[in-house]
Structure 1
Amino acid sequence: MSFFSETDSPSNLTEYSVSELSGSIKRTVEQAFDQVRVRGEISGYRGPHSSGHAYFALKDDKARIDAVIWKGTMGRLKFRPEEGMEVIATGKITTFPGSSKYQMVIETLEPAGAGALMALIEERKRKLAAEGLFDAARKQLLPYMPKVIGVITSPTGAVIRDILHRIADRFPVHVIVWPVRVQGEGSGNEVTAAIEGFNALEPGGAIARPDVLIVARGGGSLEDLWSFNDEAVVRAAAASNIPLISAVGHETDWTLIDHASDQRAPTPTGAAEMAVPVKADLEAAVSGLSARLKAAMTRRMDARRQDLRALARALPSLDQLLALPRRRFDEASAGLGRGLTMNTANKRRHFERTALQLRPDMLSTRLNDRRQRLQERMMRADRVVERLLQRGRTRISTADASLRALPARLSGQIHRTQDRLAGLTARADKAVVSDIQRRRIAVAAQDRILQSLSYDNVLKRGFALVRDDRGMLIKQAASMTNGMAVSLQFADGSVNAVTGDNGTDPPAPAPHSRKRADKPVPSTPPKQGSLF
């Protein structure tokens, strides 16, 4: 006889639920590893998740541990984690009760020494240089006097104040500031978007397109300047159609954007000095050039004036030039009176000769001659009209004779045409009858072929066509389901049916007998069963 019930455990160990055990392990691990510092290589990093958190792993040559950086911590990082980077992570170890896994929650992240970052920069520099992004042939010349300057930097730092102050002192122009973060997670993406945004502006648009860009940031450590070593930032700077000046850090600080930019400035203030000239120097230069121009014009005018005076002395005087024309004029004016008198005398003599020819007897003789010519021309006109009338009468007589003989000729032509038309009509009737007979024979042959190929003959032999509710032909039993509405087409008509399976075998065919064949068909249709 047993003294233990069925529910009692034969062991004296404490019994835990799965949740209790998981929670106890979580508390133990977090208390034991509340603050740890781990050195390892980043593996499986794909950037921040849509939630802002980043999930990856830290590994060495023997082990691997999952890690997570929460969204708030990602914004405070001084550089962006990258695949394969060796880092030193500080945080705590925790477990995830939903699965038997543990991970490290990273609170701070730093590269494993400056050498690792420099090695990464050198590797990236060699890669981009091999693509030709740093070639001198790609670099553009800066405009000498830009009208609009675009500045990409933080709007709250001392850098933008220094740039604006220097530009205002040297040569005041319109400045457009694109505010960005210059360090931390996401700063590289903002700088890239700013460069591409300035290049996307259309000339003459609502926002003026800059003639030159300045990417500026104050000095800092290698980690602080890490955003300007981002590959996307370097590619955007190299692809910029607007000349770009990089002014990142101090003179001793070098980043990859310095190699891709068109001009590198040692400081942000130096970038402003490169972008615009000194207005006072330009004004002094213009004043000097204006004075030189005035002096040159004065000397040139004096030289031309002296040349003109020398040429004027070589020319003859006005009296010498007009002496010959004056003499010719005097001679012509002296001979003008004599010529007018002689011309008047000549005209008078010509008038007198003409007046002698205008006597009355001469006019009468001329009128008689003209009257005689007119009579002769009238007589000739009468004779011409008579000849024309006679010729017209002859033509009319000839035409009348031809018209009188025309009916006889036309009658013969009509008879011949009617005979020819009758012959053609008879030939056409024969051809039409022959063509109709030939077509009837062809149609009959086609009808015989059609009847032999038609499925109506097959239906007359006892077969049927099965169609679905849309009238489409059903060719396979696999395409039919129970309860499906179908239509059966026989040789003498169609009936509607519904498919189904009554679970019984089809009845055996009854023997053909005369009495069963003569049995009348019941008036009510039998109950619908399975068709297949």
Structure 2
Amino acid sequence: MTSLLDNDSPTNLTEFSVSELSGSIKRTVENAFDHVRVRGEISGYRGQHSSGHAYFSLKDDRARIDAVIWKGTFPRIKFRPEEGMEVIATGKITTFPGSSKYQIVIENLEPAGAGALMALLEERRRRLGGEGLFDQARKRPLPFLPRVIGVVTSPTGAVIRDILHRISDRFPVHVIVWPVKVQGEGSGDEVAAAIRGFNAMAPGGPIRRPDVLIVARGGGSLEDLWSFNDEAVVRAAADSEIPLISAVGHETDWTLIDHAADIRAPTPTGAAEMAVPVKADLEAQVANLTARLRSATSRQMDQSRQSVRALVRALPSLDQLLALPRRRFDEAAAGLGRGLERTTVVKRRSFERASSGLRLELLTNRLAQQRQLLADRLTRGDRCLELQVLKENNRVAKAGASLSALPARLLGQLQRERQHLASMARHADTAISHTLMRSRAAITAQDRVLQSLSYKNVLKRGFAVVRGEDDRPLTRAAGIGQGQAISVEFADGRIAAVTGEGGELADPPVAAPEPKKRPAKPEPPGDAPKQGTLF
């Protein structure tokens, strides 16, 4: 029993190494599943690896299988794989010996029917709509007459020809075409890049920035138009600063870019019609408005002309307007002479009243009174000063007598008081002198005024004073009788005369003795001759 346990048990199985077994399994699986179609949901998709390959999984509700798309196969895939998308993968099954796993190498990938794509499209529409990319508040109105139109489409299809032909027929403007792929791998990225490229153009650059964009493509199936459902395209359309028209497919074809665009056109030709107006219609409208403007202007001028004519008929004539001012002018002209005469009389009377108050004896008496008042004040000032000096001397003498017995230390203070008293006496003398000078200046000024008002100055200008027998001035010819003795005073002397009949002198004039000249300063009041009216 012991020997049997120690020996290896005999077997007829072939012994393989791990590498041989893994290679055998790989060949068996590849031969058995050389070409298969697998339906499942994409899981764990993260896009292409840095090497260009893509690794993800296909799963259903009970199983899971790894999948790989090689770099060279990606350009042949009609649409981009996305997480959660249900697809049908065509390829072959192989194993990976390094980890004892099997996987499918995908050669073709297609959606698992229209229902799956529609479900994915609906989910994407809800998500982007929840972000506000489809809100009407984001949409901008199209410019009425753009100068440059940017078109994002394929340069070789019939779409671009239809757009250019329609724009040329309606209103020829400058068109810039940004060529892109409109189907297949990478087409969505090209469309998004074209939209952003147009928006990145500087308004004042060498190539004018478009005023409106048209993203266009012809009709096709849902898979053919899938690039315009790409999230990058939708976001680029929503972020576009330039108003954008979506013209993808036919009227029944809807893509997500239609919701994000500012306006959707049913066809590319319809987009061209939305972008520019019809030039002929504009010209006809302008001509119609011009005719209406001319007609309205003519009617307005006619109405204004009739209104002016009606107002002219309602206005009074020129004679009626000027009748009242003319009458007032005539009345004022008639009263002007009388007014001047009355004014002359009033002014003459006013002058006579003023001149009657300017008598020489009044001024002389006033000047004498002022002189007497000043003399009295000077006399009283001298007496007051003498009394004050005498009083101060007596007070100083008394103070000196009373202070003679004081000690010697008070003698200095006494000396200062004496000096202060002497200074005050000098200030008093100076004040009195200044007062006398101001009084003399005032008297001199009054004397100059008196001399200027004296009738002697009037005589120097060629006038004369006629005096009667009592040496009083004669102011009226009616008061002089025939044969009355009179005297005529001139500036250089006085003559005697006798009046005759008719105003002639009865005797030849006899020169009267020349009166004494008045001193420069006014004399005291006396029997000075009175001043009469000057002729």
Q: Structure 1 residues 253, 358: CA separation in 2 closer, same or farther (over 3 Å shift)? A: closer
**Secondary structure of 1:250 counterpart:** coil
Q: Structure 1 residues 104, 307: CA separation in 2 closer, same or farther (over 3 Å shift)? A: same
- Aligned ranges 1:268-279 → 2 under 5 Å: 268-279=268-279
Deviates more, 1:214-223 or 1:295-304: 214-223
Take 1:14 and 1:254, find their aligned partners in 2: how far apart are those partners?
64
The residue identity in structure 1 corresponding to 2:113 is G
**Secondary structure of 2:72 counterpart:** helix
Take 2:188 and 2:338, find their aligned partners in 1: how far apart are those partners?
111
Q: Structure 1 residues 339, 23: CA separation in 2 closer, same or farther (over 3 Å shift)? A: same
Q: Structure 1 residues 288, 386: CA separation in 2 closer, same or farther (over 3 Å shift)? A: farther
- Once the two structures are TM-superposed, the CA of residue 226 in structure 1 deviates from its matched residue by 0.8
Structure 1: gaps spanning 5 or more residues? 1-9, 398-403, 405-532
Aligned to 1:218: 218
Aligned to 1:267: 267
- Once the two structures are TM-superposed, the CA of residue 315 in structure 1 deviates from its matched residue by 1.0
Does 2:294 match 1:294? yes
Aligned to 1:508: none
Aligned to 1:502: none
Aligned to 1:318: 318
Deviates more, 1:241-250 or 1:186-195: 186-195
Aligned to 1:89: 89
Take 2:297 and 2:52, find their aligned partners in 1: how far apart are those partners?
72
- Aligned ranges 1:455-470 → 2 under 5 Å: none
Aligned to 1:111: 111
Aligned to 2:248: 248
Take 1:387 and 1:283, find their aligned partners in 2: how far apart are those partners?
122
Take 1:385 and 1:149, find their aligned partners in 2: how far apart are those partners?
118
The residue identity in structure 2 corresponding to 1:315 is L
1:264-284 per-position Cα deviation (integer Å, ceiling 9, x unaligned): 211122112112322321222
Q: Structure 1 residues 355, 48: CA separation in 2 closer, same or farther (over 3 Å shift)? A: same
- Aligned ranges 1:350-369 → 2 under 5 Å: 350-369=350-369
- What TM-score results when the alignment is normalised by the length of structure 2? 0.59
- Once the two structures are TM-superposed, the CA of residue 238 in structure 1 deviates from its matched residue by 5.1
Take 2:183 and 2:368, find their aligned partners in 1: how far apart are those partners?
130
Check conservation: 1:78, 1:226, Cα contact below 8 A.
Answer: no
Take 1:385 and 1:221, find their aligned partners in 2: how far apart are those partners?
139
Aligned to 1:336: 336
- Once the two structures are TM-superposed, the CA of residue 319 in structure 1 deviates from its matched residue by 0.8
- Aligned ranges 1:64-213 → 2 under 5 Å: 64-125=64-125, 140-146=140-146, 149-154=149-154, 157-172=157-172, 180-192=180-192, 212-213=212-213
Does 2:62 match 1:53? no
**Secondary structure of 1:81 counterpart:** coil
- Once the two structures are TM-superposed, the CA of residue 116 in structure 1 deviates from its matched residue by 3.2
- Aligned ranges 1:389-404 → 2 under 5 Å: none
Q: Structure 1 residues 261, 16: CA separation in 2 closer, same or farther (over 3 Å shift)? A: same
Take 2:152 and 2:321, find their aligned partners in 1: how far apart are those partners?
79
Q: Structure 1 residues 58, 370: CA separation in 2 closer, same or farther (over 3 Å shift)? A: same
- Once the two structures are TM-superposed, the CA of residue 302 in structure 1 deviates from its matched residue by 0.2
Aligned to 1:454: none
- Cα RMSD of the aligned pairs, angstroms, is 4.6
**Secondary structure of 2:73 counterpart:** helix
Take 2:224 and 2:387, find their aligned partners in 1: how far apart are those partners?
128
The residue identity in structure 2 corresponding to 1:293 is L
- Once the two structures are TM-superposed, the CA of residue 292 in structure 1 deviates from its matched residue by 0.4
- Once the two structures are TM-superposed, the CA of residue 98 in structure 1 deviates from its matched residue by 4.0
The residue identity in structure 1 corresponding to 2:275 is A
The residue identity in structure 1 corresponding to 2:308 is L
Take 1:168 and 1:381, find their aligned partners in 2: how far apart are those partners?
123
Check conservation: 1:189, 1:232, Cα contact below 8 A.
Answer: yes
1:80-112 per-position Cα deviation (integer Å, ceiling 9, x unaligned): 112333323333444445443443332222223
Q: Structure 1 residues 284, 374: CA separation in 2 closer, same or farther (over 3 Å shift)? A: farther
Aligned to 2:511: none
- Once the two structures are TM-superposed, the CA of residue 140 in structure 1 deviates from its matched residue by 4.9
- Aligned ranges 1:381-392 → 2 under 5 Å: none
The residue identity in structure 1 corresponding to 2:245 is I
Q: Structure 1 residues 78, 303: CA separation in 2 closer, same or farther (over 3 Å shift)? A: same
Take 2:343 and 2:114, find their aligned partners in 1: how far apart are those partners?
124
The residue identity in structure 2 corresponding to 1:73 is T
Q: Percent identity?
A: 78
Check conservation: 1:67, 1:105, Cα contact below 8 A.
Answer: yes
- Once the two structures are TM-superposed, the CA of residue 113 in structure 1 deviates from its matched residue by 3.0
The count of residues paired between Structure 1 and Structure 2 equals 387
**Secondary structure of 1:185 counterpart:** coil
- Once the two structures are TM-superposed, the CA of residue 296 in structure 1 deviates from its matched residue by 0.6
Take 1:347 and 1:138, find their aligned partners in 2: how far apart are those partners?
93
Check conservation: 1:41, 1:59, Cα contact below 8 A.
Answer: yes
Take 2:137 and 2:89, find their aligned partners in 1: how far apart are those partners?
43
Deviates more, 1:297-306 or 1:155-164: 155-164
The residue identity in structure 2 corresponding to 1:286 is V
1:103-162 per-position Cα deviation (integer Å, ceiling 9, x unaligned): 333222222333432343345446656777656676554444445655443455443454
Check conservation: 1:215, 1:245, Cα contact below 8 A.
Answer: yes
- Aligned ranges 1:414-493 → 2 under 5 Å: none
Q: Structure 1 residues 64, 351: CA separation in 2 closer, same or farther (over 3 Å shift)? A: closer
Q: Structure 1 residues 156, 23: CA separation in 2 closer, same or farther (over 3 Å shift)? A: farther
Take 1:215 and 1:145, find their aligned partners in 2: how far apart are those partners?
19
**Secondary structure of 2:163 counterpart:** helix
Does 2:280 match 1:280? yes
**Secondary structure of 1:71 counterpart:** coil
Take 1:227 and 1:388, find their aligned partners in 2: how far apart are those partners?
131
- Once the two structures are TM-superposed, the CA of residue 322 in structure 1 deviates from its matched residue by 0.6
The residue identity in structure 1 corresponding to 2:313 is R
Check conservation: 1:150, 1:214, Cα contact below 8 A.
Answer: yes
Check conservation: 1:35, 1:90, Cα contact below 8 A.
Answer: yes
The residue identity in structure 2 corresponding to 1:87 is V
1:384-409 per-position Cα deviation (integer Å, ceiling 9, x unaligned): 99999999x9xxx9xxxxxx9xxxxx
Take 1:235 and 1:319, find their aligned partners in 2: how far apart are those partners?
84
